[in-house]
Amino acid sequence: MKLTWILLTAAICAVCTRGVSQTITYTATNASVEDIISVMKQQTKYVFLYNKKAIRNAKKINISAKNLPINDFLSLAFKDQPFTWSVENQTIVLEKAAPRKDNTTAQ
């Protein structure tokens, strides 16, 4: 009886977890960060928090994604951009990347 209860609980948790995770399907060439944000807002319940200065020098984005989880989509879409991103609850935060420090020393 206990084993049945444990298996039933695990199955219900697995189904609930799949229902909560959201995915993105989107294909574009030379899309702007604003395009990506717009698509994500349409396909998910997430909101974005960012300063336009943080994305001002962003590169155009080429992407092809089908049913990608949000974190994977963000990693793919925002790879090599001059800003960082993080997900906090239902909010995606974009921030200007900190300048890189050069590890070389003058001799």
- What digits encode the pLDDT tens for the residues 30-74? 999 999 999 999 999 999 999 999 999 999 999 999 999 999 999
Buried b (16+ CB within 10 A) or exposed e, 78-99: beebebebeeeeeebebeeeee
For the entire predicted model, the pTM comes to 0.72
- What digits encode the pLDDT tens for the residues 59-70? 999 999 999 999
Q: Looking at the DSSP assignment, which residues form a beta bridge with residue 93?
A: 49, 86
CA distance 58 to 34: 10
CA distance 98 to 16: 38
Question: Between the CA of residue 42 and those of 38, 55, 86, 88, 95, what are the distances in Å?
Answer: 6, 20, 19, 18, 22
